[in-house]
Chain A
Amino acid sequence: MTMLKTLAPYEVKSRDAVENYKGRQLLYVNWERHRMFSRPFVLALPPETLFSVIVDQYMTDCFSYHPDWKQIDWNTVVWQNGNTPFTPDRDKSLKENGIGHKDLIRFRTPGLDGIAGTGY
């Protein structure tokens, strides 16, 4: 049932439907309590991309500017997909990890709360 108020039926398509990404899907990544990056970043990648590539390449490129990055103990990192806890397998793909189009991966690094504990 449409909720949009229009004078006549109006067919609406999503501008970011997965088919607009030519075989890739969107992925958002956020480092919690590190708002210096001020926002999650977004990538478009094939669903076959290994999770290790996300961490070693894309996350490192973005977040390694932060002095906390080097101090992360990866064994204690807490992962969420949206608001749901999950445990990624580094050696598996996004698809195998159950990560779909426009999922938001959030990770927490206990004990690391940003510059001078500001959450930044």
Chain B
Amino acid sequence: MDMKVAKKLGLKERYSLMTRDLAWDTTYQPMDKVFPQTTYEGIKIHDWDKWEDPFRLTMDAYWKYQAEKERKLYAILDGFNQNNGHLSVTDARYINVLKLFLGSTPPLELMAARGFSMMGRQMNGAGPRVACQMQAVDEYRHFQTQIHSISNYNKYYNGMDEFAHQQSRMWYLSDGKSFFDDAITAGPFEFMVAIGFAFEYVLTNILFVPFISGAAYNGDMAAMTVGFSAQSDEARHMTLGLECIKFMLEQDPDNLPIVQRWIDKWTWRGTRKLASVGMMMDYMLPKRIMSFKEAWEMYVEENGGALFKDLARYGITIPKCFGQTIEEKEHVTHQSWIGFYMKPQATPFHTWIPTPDEMDWLSEKYPNTFDKYYRPVLEHLDAQEKAGNRFDNKTAPMNCQVCVSTMKFNEPGDPMEMCFRESIYNGEKFHTCSDHCKEIFDNEPEKYIQTFISSHQVLQGNCEPEGTDVNAADFKPGQNMLDYWKLDKRALGDFNGSEDQKNFAAWREQATKN
């Protein structure tokens, strides 16, 4: 007699067993009390079963694929490290890209992991709950692999070992910290728009595709492999964010204005965060793959624009900031790099003036703006540096109360004017860098009056050894900042003349000559 074999379960059934079948309705307590965060933002959900889980098709193979990717990744990292891969990059300047990346990205991946773990707990529906948990695992994996891929460089170059300490203290890392603090203290639905949508779309596309391709162009196989391994997850993450938006919009028409406000807010916050990634592409990669402006046009204007067209059927309109971002794509990377160049004593990475041929590349990529507004300044600073008068602005900067960027952006329509906006709340003045940041502040001032602004903390005396009297005649704000930040003195200053530059040249000489 033939053996009776049970029919193999279909994809849909397996997904159902592994996700929604694990959920139950509570009996001792009402569901609303168990999931209080799903209602207080004002989002109305009538039927959680309408959630179309973007993970459903990959759920079954997820662990297998991720494990396979991990094995390949670590094989490449090992090979890179054993072959002194740190000497095969184009130029020691490139390593500063990794220093900036290390401080600004893995800690945010960790925050994303925390956030998705929290939101997974708060979503009153088994589909999104499982999807959030899976994304939390991915984010944690990104956090770890990014650090692992850079750890090899840390054996040889300065300024990388205190990134975790610096993340919540350093001025230039405050914008990313603020971005995630803002998102993680929002409700679960806003978090999904902030991270699942704006961060994954606006940021990771540009960070993990053109920037990581730039890593490959510069001979960094470790960063390239991590970037591409991460980007295949990001595609799934974006789908989760987008599904959450569609789900909210399909559930109730009252959700539309709330979601629109979040899309406006987080697209802008993501844009501000991108300025430093663009600076890496335009100024810090010795061998460039494309300009930030080109990347912006491809990934944001074209891809993002198509996405908003797709959402238009729900009544969503293009974010209000879109026009300003198109204008700013010509300027932000130059403004940011000059901003970093002027603070040689306050970053754990080096800065420099681009070489003449690099300036020619910038002229070609930015024909409307570079020669008119930025080349003369860079050439002036270069001449000063060569004359032994390197720019070192020791003053503490003013920051935007919302995005926490230093105030370096121009007034829309006039590249020569600085942009300042001001709000008064409870009798106190609050300054913002743009109309969009001002609008975000004015909508929820209670949230942003708590913003951590590094330069203000210095002046309050919070970065000094205990017992320091800020009113003492000899008190100099900032004199203990290097200790407070745990900055490695060898990592400071201009690239030219740095220990990294000398060591790289000496080691490469040894590696390529007898």
Q: How far is the CB of A14 from chain B (nearest CB, A)?
A: 4
B14 near A: Cβ within 8 Å? no
B460 near A: Cβ within 8 Å? yes
Q: How far is the CB of B396 from chain A (nearest CB, A)?
A: 5
B396 cross-chain contacts in A, Cβ below 8 A: 41-43
- How far is B395's CA from A95's CA once the two chains are assembled, in angstroms? 23
Binds B, one of A71-79, A86-94, A112-120: A112-120
Cross-interface CB contact of B372 among A6, A30, A103, A118, cutoff 8 Å: A118
12 sample A-B contacts, Cβ–Cβ < 8 Å, listed by A number: A5-B444, A12-B450, A16-B453, A16-B456, A24-B471, A38-B342, A62-B395, A104-B422, A115-B380, A118-B374, A120-B338, A120-B374
A38 touches B391 (CB 8 A): no
- How far is B418's CA from A75's CA once the two chains are assembled, in angstroms? 23
- Encode contact with B along A34-74: 1 for CB under 8 Å, 0 otherwise: 01111111111000000000000010011001000000000
A38 cross-chain contacts in B, Cβ below 8 A: 335, 338-339, 342, 393, 397, 406, 408
B418 touches A15 (CB 8 A): no
A12 touches B335 (CB 8 A): no
- Encode contact with A along B429-465: 1 for CB under 8 Å, 0 otherwise: 1110000000000011111011111011001110000
CB-based A-B contact count at 8 angstroms = 165
Binds A, one of B34-42, B81-89, B273-281: B34-42
Cross-interface CB contact of B391 among A42, A65, A103, cutoff 8 Å: A65
- How far is B451's CA from A39's CA once the two chains are assembled, in angstroms? 18
- How far is B447's CA from A5's CA once the two chains are assembled, in angstroms? 10
B450 touches A120 (CB 8 A): no
Cross-interface CB contact of A120 among B373, B446, B451, cutoff 8 Å: B373
The contact size tier of chain A is 35 or more
Q: 16 other contacts beyond A4-B447, A15-B451, A43-B396, with CB at 8 A cut-off?
A: A3-B446, A12-B450, A13-B449, A15-B449, A15-B456, A21-B459, A32-B417, A39-B406, A42-B396, A42-B456, A65-B389, A82-B422, A102-B429, A118-B373, A119-B373, A120-B377
A113 cross-chain contacts in B, Cβ below 8 A: 416
Interface centre among A6, A7, A62, A119 (most CB of B within 10 A): A119
| Chain B residue at smallest Cβ distance from A16 | B456
Q: How far is the CB of B473 from chain A (nearest CB, A)?
A: 12
With A2-B446, A7-B36 known as contacts, the answer to whether A37 contacts B470 (CB < 8 A) is no
Q: How many residues of B contact A (CB 8 A)?
A: 58
Cross-interface CB contact of A5 among B41, B335, B373, B429, cutoff 8 Å: B41
Q: How far is the CB of B334 from chain A (nearest CB, A)?
A: 10
With A12-B450, A30-B418, A104-B420 known as contacts, the answer to whether A39 contacts B376 (CB < 8 A) is no
Q: How far is the CB of A19 from chain B (nearest CB, A)?
A: 10
Cross-interface CB contact of B443 among A3, A12, A42, A62, cutoff 8 Å: A3
A116 touches B376 (CB 8 A): yes
> Would you list which residues of chain B between 6 and 20 have a CB under 8 Å from chain A?
none
Cross-interface CB contact of B471 among A22, A115, A116, cutoff 8 Å: A22
B428 touches A17 (CB 8 A): yes
- How far is B444's CA from A2's CA once the two chains are assembled, in angstroms? 8
> Would you list which residues of chain B between 379 and 395 have a CB under 8 Å from chain A?
380-381, 389, 391, 393-395
Q: How far is the CB of B80 from chain A (nearest CB, A)?
A: 37
Q: How far is the CB of A87 from chain B (nearest CB, A)?
A: 20
Q: How far is the CB of A84 from chain B (nearest CB, A)?
A: 10
B410 cross-chain contacts in A, Cβ below 8 A: 35
Q: How far is the CB of B389 from chain A (nearest CB, A)?
A: 8
Cross-interface CB contact of A7 among B37, B430, B470, cutoff 8 Å: B37
B446 touches A10 (CB 8 A): yes
B451 cross-chain contacts in A, Cβ below 8 A: 15
> Would you list which residues of chain B between 143 and 182 have a CB under 8 Å from chain A?
none
B305 near A: Cβ within 8 Å? no
Interface centre among B37, B374, B459 (most CB of A within 10 A): B459
B376 touches A115 (CB 8 A): yes
Q: How far is the CB of A55 from chain B (nearest CB, A)?
A: 15
B354 near A: Cβ within 8 Å? no
Q: How far is the CB of A43 from chain B (nearest CB, A)?
A: 7
Interface centre among B338, B377, B452 (most CB of A within 10 A): B377
B187 near A: Cβ within 8 Å? yes
B426 near A: Cβ within 8 Å? yes
With A38-B406, A41-B397, A41-B398 known as contacts, the answer to whether A4 contacts B429 (CB < 8 A) is no
A5 touches B187 (CB 8 A): yes
A118 touches B377 (CB 8 A): yes
| Chain A residue at smallest Cβ distance from B469 | A22
A4 touches B395 (CB 8 A): no
B477 touches A44 (CB 8 A): yes
A44 touches B428 (CB 8 A): no
| Chain A residue at smallest Cβ distance from B415 | A119
B471 cross-chain contacts in A, Cβ below 8 A: 22-24
Cross-interface CB contact of B452 among A15, A32, A62, A115, cutoff 8 Å: A15
B40 touches A14 (CB 8 A): no
With A39-B406, A102-B429 known as contacts, the answer to whether A3 contacts B444 (CB < 8 A) is yes
B285 near A: Cβ within 8 Å? no
Cross-interface CB contact of A42 among B37, B418, B459, cutoff 8 Å: B459
A102 touches B374 (CB 8 A): no
Interface centre among A33, A41, A61 (most CB of B within 10 A): A41
Q: How far is the CB of B510 from chain A (nearest CB, A)?
A: 40
Cross-interface CB contact of B426 among A3, A14, A40, cutoff 8 Å: A14
B445 cross-chain contacts in A, Cβ below 8 A: 3
B407 near A: Cβ within 8 Å? yes
Interchain residue pairs A-B with the least CB separation, the first 10: A119-B416, A41-B395, A116-B376, A44-B459, A4-B446, A14-B449, A120-B377, A102-B429, A40-B398, A12-B446
